Amino acid sequence: MKDLAIYGAGGLGREMLLMVRQINEKNPVWNIKGFFDDAKKKGSVTDGIEVLGNSADVNRLSAPIEVIVPIADPKIRSIIVASIVNANVSFAAAFHYSANLGDMANKFGKGCLVTANCVLTTGISVGDFAIINLACTVGHDVQIGNFASLMPGCHISGNVAIGEGSFIGTGAVIRQGITIGDHAIVGAGAVVTRNVDSRSTVVGVPARPMKSRV
């Protein structure tokens, strides 16, 4: 079994701990060494797992270890990944066994996480450190950028491109052929029928730029 640490002991981190435990019950893969977290006290315990420290502590680890970074905010996730410079650390991708990953030719980047009950079909590329969370559907020929976050229950239609570091809120629906720009935010429950500019936030049905952010 390989050693694994989870960076982020918040809600999504704890859900990923559960996922890893479920994967291990089916087929032991990882020896869970602990959490890393910048906001929690070193030595404290979350869901039965010790917090081993912060990024400085990760960078001091002297034995090979795999790390996953289940932090929903793409920006925070990318900052944390960039802060880990220890050659002993490799970033694992993790897939819940109930996820249907689709065609064998689909591509999954390093450090990406696909959680329970997601369904992907064919011609799909998932970037490095992207997160596809609970029960999302991803249609044919969708490109998901590095560090993108798809929150639970999103439906991404065919030929959609989701930009790097973009955040797709819970239950959003993206019409076919749409491009979501880099670092854009799609609000929970939005139905996206037009392309979304980089760094913009859209909400509603149909989705429109958020007035407070225009």
Ligand X SMILES: CC(C)(COP(=O)(O)OP(=O)(O)OC[C@H]1O[C@@H](n2cnc3c(N)ncnc32)[C@H](O)[C@@H]1OP(=O)(O)O)[C@@H](O)C(=O)NCCC(=O)NCCS
Residue selected from 23, 76, 89, 210 as contacting ligand X according to rule CB under 6 A: 210
Alpha carbons 191 and 206: distance in angstroms, whole number: 5
Alpha carbons 146 and 140: distance in angstroms, whole number: 18
Residue selected from 151, 161, 162, 192 as contacting ligand X according to rule CB under 6 A: 151
Residue selected from 18, 89, 188, 191 as contacting ligand X according to rule CB under 6 A: 188
Sign of the Cα pseudo-torsion (201, 136, 84, 11, in order): positive
Tell me: does residue 165 bind ligand X (CB under 6 A).
no
Sign of the Cα pseudo-torsion (91, 97, 99, 100, in order): positive
Question: Helices (DSSP H) in the chain: which residue ranges?
Answer: 11-26, 55-58, 74-83
- Choose between 41 and 211: whose C-beta lies nearer to ligand X: 211
Tell me: does residue 201 bind ligand X (CB under 6 A).
yes
Which residue(s) pair with 174 in the sheet?
A: 156, 192
Residue selected from 111, 180, 187, 196 as contacting ligand X according to rule CB under 6 A: 187
- Choose between 111 and 187: whose C-beta lies nearer to ligand X: 187
Tell me: does residue 212 bind ligand X (CB under 6 A).
yes
Q: Near ligand X by CB under 6 A, which window of 46-54, 85-93, 135-143, 199-207? A: 199-207
Residue selected from 5, 94, 180, 203 as contacting ligand X according to rule CB under 6 A: 203
Give the alpha-carbon dihedral of 57, 13, 23, 61, to 10 degrees: 0
Tell me: does residue 131 bind ligand X (CB under 6 A).
no
Tell me: does residue 169 bind ligand X (CB under 6 A).
yes
Please state the closest distance from residue 49 (CB atom) to ligand X, in A. 21
Q: 132 vs 129, 156, 177, 212, CA distance in Å?
A: 10, 11, 19, 28
Residue selected from 189, 191, 200, 209 as contacting ligand X according to rule CB under 6 A: 189
Which residue(s) pair with 143 in the sheet?
A: 125, 161
- Choose between 177 and 206: whose C-beta lies nearer to ligand X: 206
Tell me: does residue 206 bind ligand X (CB under 6 A).
no
Tell me: does residue 76 bind ligand X (CB under 6 A).
no
Nearest to 82 by CA among 131, 30, 147, 36: 147
Query: Would you tell me which residues interact with ligand X (CB under 6 A)?
Result: 151-152, 169-170, 185, 187-189, 201, 203-204, 210, 212
